[in-house]
Structure 1
Amino acid sequence: MDYFFYGRDRDGAGELRMRLVEEHWAFMDRFAAGMIARGPTLTGDLEGATGSVHIVDLPDAEAARVFAFEEPNQLAGVYRQVLVRRFVDLLGRTMWDFPGERDQRAGRYLILAHARPLTDWPGAGRAEPALDRDRLIAFGRLLSEDGEDWEGAAVIGEFADPEEVRGRFAATGVYDRIEVHPWTFGGRR
């Protein structure tokens, strides 16, 4: 089962995050075989982190809780909130299969589209706008942890105009709130 995690940093957590980087990477190494995408969201100037995104294949909800809440940044207080959702992969590849360059930081974004309350989530399949697959790093539907409720969509990609992508999601009429965050590839450098 694939899961999406987004740990949002506390204000002023940058120094603590930097001290824990090796511990964080060592923890993530345990999950390398199932990793679909990973990387930090960034400040507007791309100089500091605002959070961490991980999309990973795990055996069950208990393993997802361990991944989310025993991660070193979470245990040390770097994150103010951790979002955990089941992830339905609409792209079918990992970030390592992305055809673009890995070392370019500018122009990459995480877009989180939070669903309006709906009674029939299978209809959400019509809710994702058409996007250029060659520009996508990860793309999927977000479900509740038990997989019962549709809760939105997440896309990581290279976008010249992320506000245009936000507009595409908004035009579907099924999203309550749409977040746009600068993002970059994560992992050992």
Structure 2
Amino acid sequence: MLFYVHAQDKPGVADQLLEFAEAHWSYMDRFDGRLILRGPTLSDDGEEHTGSVHIVDLADRPAAERFATEEPYWRAGLYGEFTAAPAVVLLHRELAADAPYTLVTAQWPPHARTPGDAGQRLLGAEPDGRLSFVAVLVDDDQDSTTGVVAAVRALPDEARSLVQAWADQLAGGPVPLKAQRWQRGGRN
């Protein structure tokens, strides 16, 4: 089962992140074949690490929570919080090298739309080519949507506008979207 796992940095931990970087990489290497998408979220100017995002194939929610809490940055107290939610990938294109990306996310209370409905709404017409990755977040039974995550090859305002109408439709009404800079991760 795929899970969206997003951990937010605590303020002022940049130097400590560097100190634990190799431990983080070594930990992620253990999941290499199961990581569908990964990389850091960044500050508005793209210069500072603000968190870490992973779409990872794991057995169940407890395994997703262990993935998050056994991660070296979490264990060192550098993350303030994390989200772990089941995800259904609707679109996964090759990520362009050296292009600015934005991670667009939203979460809402369970809404009775299935992942299949979400895919039909997204893929009913050819999606904008700047959408590189889209997943719908679902409840544990996968019968209701609970949010969305998208990697968009655009800066935050434009990225948000590309996802807004679809997310509103999926959520059953207007939903606030969070848009933050993001970059593809992994060892080079």
Letter in 2 for 1:82: F
Distance 1:39 1:116, change over 3 A: same
Give 2:81's aligned residue.
81
Q: Distance in 2 between matches of 1:62 and 1:114?
A: 20
Q: Distance in 1 between matches of 2:42 and 2:85?
A: 21
1:109 aligns with 2:105: no
Stretches of structure 2 lacking an aligned partner (at least 5 in a row): none
| 154-163 or 26-35, which deviates more | 154-163
Q: Distance in 2 between matches of 1:18 and 1:26?
A: 14
In the alignment of these two chains, the number of paired residues is 181
Deviation at 1:177, TM superposition (A): 2.3
Distance 1:133 1:164, change over 3 A: closer
Deviation at 1:126, TM superposition (A): 4.4
Letter in 1 for 2:161: E
Normalised by the size of structure 2, how large is the TM-score?
A: 0.83
Deviation at 1:62, TM superposition (A): 2.7
Q: Deviations over 1:118-146 (max 9, x none)?
A: 3x232882496567364333211112355
Distance 1:59 1:117, change over 3 A: closer
Q: Distance in 2 between matches of 1:154 and 1:83?
A: 12
Q: Distance in 2 between matches of 1:63 and 1:171?
A: 30
Deviation at 1:157, TM superposition (A): 2.0
Q: Distance in 1 between matches of 2:173 and 2:117?
A: 11
Of 138, 159, 162, the match for 1:162: 159
Q: Distance in 1 between matches of 2:115 and 2:52?
A: 30
Q: Deviations over 1:33-83 (max 9, x none)?
A: 111000001101111011100001112223212111100011111111100
Over aligned residues, Cα RMSD in angstroms? 2.5
Deviation at 1:5, TM superposition (A): 0.5
Counterparts in 2 of 1:6-25, with a 5 A limit? 6-25=6-25
Normalised by the size of structure 1, how large is the TM-score?
A: 0.83
Give 1:36's aligned residue.
36
* SS of equivalent residue, structure 2 residue 114: helix
Distance 1:170 1:3, change over 3 A: closer
Distance 1:142 1:167, change over 3 A: closer
Give 1:174's aligned residue.
173
Q: Distance in 1 between matches of 2:61 and 2:9?
A: 23
Stretches of structure 1 lacking an aligned partner (at least 5 in a row): none
Sequence identity (%): 31
Give 1:122's aligned residue.
114
* SS of equivalent residue, structure 2 residue 53: strand
Letter in 2 for 1:165: L
Q: Distance in 1 between matches of 2:178 and 2:37?
A: 18
Q: Distance in 1 between matches of 2:143 and 2:38?
A: 25
Letter in 1 for 2:96: E
Q: Distance in 2 between matches of 1:154 and 1:187?
A: 19
1:153 aligns with 2:148: yes
1:90 aligns with 2:90: yes
Deviation at 1:103, TM superposition (A): 2.8
